[in-house]
Structure 1
C-alpha cells in the first residue's frame, strides 16, 4: 500500500499538486490522467520513491514495481534473461549453483567435496523457496507474451534496442508481481506500459493487470487499456493543482468528469453574474456619502463570491507543430550503400542499401530487434556502421528524432537545448517557437531531465522544426503524446514537403505519412508501399 499526506509537487515555482491525500490499496487499479505537463510522471516518480516531494509525506508498506517511461540503465553487460530473473534474486542463485556444481565435479578431496555438496544443497533449497525452475518457466512465459523470444533473452542488455530494454524491464516487474508469496501484494506503478508492445502483447497485459491482486497506478494514452483495467481514476487538474479522485471505472469517470466541468462552468457563470450586479450597484451607491459603507460591503461580498470559485479552467493547449519548408537540396540528398551492423557475434543486418530522394517518404518495418532504430542511428551519423557507408547528397540537412530522446541533453535546460539545436537562430524566433510548443516563462529554465515523456517529445520536435532539415529521421515520434498533441504531429507529417524516413508502431503515423516505399529489416528488402504492409506495422 502507498499513502500520501498533504503532498505538494512543483516544477520550478509552478505548483503541480497541492494538499493531496492519496491512497493505493491492494485491488485498486488507478488510472492517473491529465493533460501533458500536468505532473503525471512527476507524481509517479515520487510515489515510487525516486523523486522527492516539495512538501508532504509518502509512505509505502509493500513492494513497488516501477516502470518509468525511459529504460533504466542498470548493468547493460548482463544477459536480458538474468535481468528478468534478478527481480527475485534467481540470477545470483543460479550463478552460485553452477559454481557449486563445478566445484563438486572438480574437487577430489572428500572434505572439500562434501562442503561443496552442502553449499549446493543450501542454495537449491533457497532456489526452490523462490519458485525454482517453475519460476524460470514463469519468467520465460511472461517474456514470450511481451515479444521477447529466447534469442533476445540470451543477448546482453547493451545489444538490445530501447524498446526491447523497456520490455525486459516490464517483464522483470511483472515477474516480481506474479510471485505467489510475499510479492503478491506488489504495487505496480506503470508509466505508458504499452509503448513498444504489439497488439497481442497489449491484450495479454490487459489480462495480467485485471488479475493483479496488488495495487496498480497506470499512466497511459491507450484508452482501451484504461477502459478494460482501471476501477478508479485520479485526474490531475493542471489549472487548480489538485488531484480529483473518482472511485469508479473509466467509462463512468468520463461521464462524471464531463458533469463536473459543466457544474464548475455554471457555478462560475452564476457567481460572476451576481458579482457583476453587486459591483455595479456598489459603484452607484458609492457616489453618495451616506451609502459609502454599504457600497464597500457590497463590493466586498462581490469579491468574496469570485475568490471562492475555482480558478477558471483554460482549454487544454496543444503544441502548434508545423515543419518549415526544407532547405534546398539535390535530387537524392542521402544514399546508403551496403550498411552492416553487428554487436559482438550478434548480426543485426547486413548489406542494406537505401536511396532517399528529395521529398520521398519511406517507412522502415521489421520485428522488434531487427535493427530499425540502429539503421536510423547510422543514417543520422550517431553510430558507425561496421561495413558500408552513408553518402550525403548535395545540400543534405538531417533532423533526427530519437525514441529515447538521445538528442536532448538531460542536464541542460529547455532553452539551452533549443539553442544548441539552432545556434544561429535569432533569440526571439526561438522563444516564439518554444511558446508554440507550450514552453514559456520559467519552463524555459527547467532541466530536460525533469520533463515528462510528452514534454521531452515536444522539445525534441521543436529542435527539428528549428533545423529546416530536408531529411527527417523519425523514430517513434508519437510515443508519450496525448491524443490532441499526436494529431498535431500527424498533421505536421502530412504537410511536410521534405523527405522522411519513419520508424513507428503507430498505424496512424504511417497513414499520415502516405509513404512511397518500405524497407523491411533485417533483410533490407525495398518495395513500393501498399496497404498490405499496414497490418505489419503493429506487429513489428
Structure 2
C-alpha cells in the first residue's frame, strides 16, 4: 500500500497539489490524468520515492515498480537479459552457477571439485527457490511480448536505442511484479508513466491484458484511451487550474460522464449563487444610502460574499500550445543527401549501404521493426553521431532541425530560457519570450531546469526550439509521444501546414496521415518506395 497524507507538490513556486490525502491499495488500478504540465509525472515520482514532496508525507508498505518516461541510466555494460533477470536476483545466481559448472569440469583436485559441486548444489537450490528455469522462461516471454527478441536481449544496454532500453525496464518491472507471493497474488504496486510509448500494437494489446489482471495495485499515466478503458477501475484527475486532485471511484467511461456532470453542476451552482449575490448586493447598495439601514446593508453584503466564497471553483478550459513549424529558410533543390550509410554497435550490424536524397519540401517516413535503426538513421543525418561508413552531405542553404524522442537536444541542467536562447542565439529576446508563451512557458517557468519538466513539457520545449530555428529540413523522431490529445492535434496540424522537408519516424498513424508522405524508406535494407496507404498498417507494427 502507498499512503500520502497532506501532500503538497510544487514546481518552483507554482503549486501543483495542496493538502491532498490519497491511498493506493491492492486491486486499485488508477488512471492519473490531466493536461501536460499539471504535475502527473511529479506526483508519480513522489509516490515512487524518487522525489520529495514540498509538504506532507508518503508511506510505502509494498514493493514498488516505477517506470519513468525517460530510460534510467546505470550500468550500460550489462546485457538486456541480465537487466531483466536482476529484478529477482537471477542474473547473479546464473553467473555464479556457470562459474561453479566450469570449476566442476576443469578442477583436477578431487577435494576442490567436491567443494565446487557442493557450491553448485547450494546455488541451484536458491535458483529453484526463486522460480528457477521457469522464471527465466517467464522473463523471456514477457520480453518477447514487449518486442524484445533474443538477439536484443543478448546485447549490452549501451547498444540499444532509448525506446529499447525503456522496454527492457518495463519488462524488468513486470517480471518483478509477476512474482506471486502467498496466496498466488502479487503485492507489487506498479507506477507507470506512459508505458505504451515505443510499443507496437501487439505489445500494447498484451500489456493491457497484463495490467488488467495485475492485483497488486497500479497507477498509470497514459494518453492511450483504449488502455484506460480496458484497465482502470479508478481515475484521479489532476486539475492544473485548481491545483486539486479529484478522485473518481469508477472506470474510465463512467468517469467521463461523472466529470461532465460535475462541470454542469459547478456551472449551475455558480450561476445561481452569482444571481442571488448580485440581488443581495444591489439591495445592500440601495440600503447604504440610509444611515438607519447601514448595518443591515453591511450584513447583506457579507451574505453575498459568503455565497460566492463557498462555491467550488469552475474549471477553466485547459490552455493548449499554439504550434506552428517554421517558415523554411531558402535552400537548394536537394538540401540533404546521404550515400552508403552504415552503422554497427560492436558486432551487431544495424544497417548498411543506405542512400537517400531529401529534396526541398519533400515528405519522407522511415519504417522498420523496433531495433531496425530508425532513430540511428536520424541521429546520423542530424550529426548526433558518426556513421561507420558513408557520408552525409549538406546541400546549399541547409538549415536542419532535429527533434529527438529522448530529448537529447535539450540541456537538462539548463533552464527553459537558456535552452531556447541556445537554440536561437540571434533572435530578439522579446520574440523568444512571446514564442515560449505560445508553448505555455511563462513567468517563473522560464527559470525551471529542463530536467525537471514532464515528458510533455520537454516535448513542447524541444518543439519550441525547432520553431525558432527557421529550419528547412526537419528530422522528427516520435514527435507526438507524451502529448495530451489537444497538444497532439496541434502538432499534427503544424505538420499538415509545414512547407519544408520532413523525415519522420513515428508509431502514430495520425502523424503519418497528417504528413501526407510521398516516399517511404524501409530499414534495415534502406529500400525506398513511393508511399501508399498499404504501408499505413505497418506504422504501428514498426
> Shorter-chain TM-score category?
over 0.9
Q: Give the distance between the partners of 2:179 and 2:41, measured in 1 at CA.
A: 27
8 Å contact kept, 1:414–1:459:
yes
Q: Which residue of 2 aligns with 1:231?
A: 233
Structure 1 CA distance for aligned equivalents of residues 366 and 10 of structure 2:
40
Q: Residue 463 of structure 1 corresponds to which residue in structure 2?
A: 465
| Other-structure match for 1:86 | 86
Task: Please name the residue that 1:244 is paired with.
Answer: 246
- Structure 2 CA distance, aligned partners of 1:443 and 1:102? 58
Partner of 2:209: 207
Q: Distance in 2 between matches of 1:342 and 1:55?
A: 49
SS in 2 for 1:210: helix
> What CA deviation, in whole Å up to 9, does each residue of 1:169-223 have, x standing for no partner?
1110110111123781100011111111111111111111111120011111011
Which ranges in structure 1 are unaligned for 5 or more consecutive residues? none
Instruction: Provide the rounded CA distance (Å) in 1 between the counterparts of 2:282 and 2:338.
Output: 73
Paired residues for 1:331-350 under 5 Å: 331-350=333-352
3-state SS in 2 of match to 1:21: strand
Task: Name the counterpart of 1:379.
Answer: 381
Q: 1:151 maps to what in 2?
A: 151
Conserved 8 A contact 2:146-2:167: yes
Gaps in structure 2 of 5+ consecutive residues: none
Q: Deviations over 1:414-471 (max 9, x none)?
A: 1111111111111110111111011111111111111111111011000000001000
Aligned counterpart, 1:23: 23
What is aligned with 1:293?
295
Partner of 1:423 in structure 2?
Answer: 425
CA-CA distance at 1:292 after TM superposition = 1.8
Give the alignment of 1:110-189 within 5 angstroms.
110-181=110-181, 184-189=186-191
Secondary structure at the residue paired with 2:186? helix
Q: Deviations over 1:275-300 (max 9, x none)?
A: 22222222222222222222222222
In 2, Cα distance between equivalents of 1:164 and 1:483:
25
Instruction: Tell me the TM-score normalised to structure 2 length.
Output: 0.98
Aligned-partner Cα distance in 1 for 2:49–2:263:
33
Q: Does 1:329 align with 2:331?
A: yes
After superposition, residues 49-88 of structure 1 pair within 5 angstroms as 49-88=49-88
For 2:43, the equivalent position in structure 1 comes to: 43
| Aligned CA-pair RMSD | 1.0
Deviates more, 1:274-283 or 1:416-425: 274-283
SS of the residue 1:339 aligns to: strand
Deviates more, 1:287-296 or 1:153-162: 287-296
Displacement after TM superposition at 1:105 (Å): 1.7
SS class of match (2:468): helix
Secondary structure of the residue that 1:272 maps to in structure 2? Answer: helix
Structure 1: how far apart are the matches of 2:310 and 2:464? 39
Q: Give the CA deviation at 1:371.
A: 0.4
State whether residues 41 and 191 of structure 1, in contact with CA within 8 Å, keep that contact through their aligned partners in structure 2. yes
Q: Secondary structure at the match of 2:318?
A: coil
1:161 CA drift (Å): 1.0
The SS at the match of 1:352 is strand
Which residue number in structure 1 is paired with residue 398 of structure 2?
A: 396
Which residue, out of 439, 446, 451, partners 2:441? 439
**Secondary structure, in 3 states, of the residue corresponding to 2:50?**
coil
Deviation at 1:65, TM superposition (A): 0.6
Q: Secondary structure at the match of 1:185?
A: coil
Cα deviation digits, residues 337-360 of structure 1 (max 9, x gap):
111111111110011001000000
Q: Which moved more, 1:295-304 or 1:329-338?
A: 295-304
Q: Could you tell me how far 1:33 is from its partner in structure 2?
A: 0.7
Q: Using the alignment, how far apart are the partners of 1:406 and 1:91 within structure 2?
A: 30
> In structure 1, the residue corresponding to 2:247 is in which secondary structure?
strand
Can you list the C-alpha shifts for 1:29-57, whole angstroms capped at 9, x where unaligned? Answer: 11111111111111000010001000111
Aligned to 1:276: 278
- The alpha-carbon deviation at position 312 of structure 1 amounts to 3.5
Q: Distance in 2 between matches of 1:378 and 1:388?
A: 10
Name 1:531's counterpart in structure 2.
533
Q: For 1:328 and 1:200, locate their aligned partners in 2 and report how far apart those are by CA, in whole Å.
A: 43
Post-superposition CA distance 1:63-95 (Å, at most 9, x none): 111111111112111111111101001001101
Contact 1:234 1:246 in 2 (8 A): yes
Equivalent-residue separation in structure 2 for 1:410 and 1:279 (angstroms): 53
1:239/1:311 contact within 8 Å kept: no
- Counterpart-to-counterpart distance in 2, 1:290 and 1:44: 59
> Contact conserved, 2:64 with 2:191, CA < 8 A, in 1?
yes
Q: How far is the alpha carbon of 1:316 from its aligned partner? A: 1.0
Runs of at least 4 residues off by over 6 Å: none
